[in-house]
Amino acid sequence: MSGIVFFGTDRHDAVVDFYTERLDFDVWLEQPACTILRHGTLLVGFCQREETETGGIVTVVLDDRDAVDEWYDRLTDVAEGPPTENTEYRIYNFFGTDPDGRSFEVQTFLHGTGSIPGAGTQSETRNPSDT
């Protein structure tokens, strides 16, 4: 099974640019007024709407602490603070804010999680006319 989380946005182009240019997402599918982005096995859709939905957190999971630190160094202008270790969840993470005011998180697990089927494989961009 797979799934997509969708958010409405009144700043579609700015949000898509942010996630592709700053958070390394790829465009997976373009639809009328909606763009579905992919990062590993995570699919997130942003659809042009009159009102922005900012509930929820888009979380990117990286391989290790060094990767989280590297991302933080690139994103300090939108980060809420430096990475910290969360002992309750056994993660190392930081939070930031996208152009809509929606929270994003960059983290790594500090314990084994096992593999996620399909992780690390990027699909090419898909357009409705391709099907």
The C-alpha atoms of residue 70 and residue 57 are separated, in whole angstroms, by 20
Phi, psi of 24 (to 5 degrees): 65, 25
Give the closest residue to 41 by CA, choosing from 54, 28, 23, 56. 28
Domain boundaries along the sequence of the chain: 5-113
pLDDT band at 115 (very low <50, low <70, confident <90, very high): low
- How confident is the model at residue 2, as a pLDDT? 81
Q: How high is the pLDDT of residue 116?
A: 66
Average pLDDT of the chain, as a whole number: 89
Domain over 5-113 is classified CATH 3.40.50.300: no
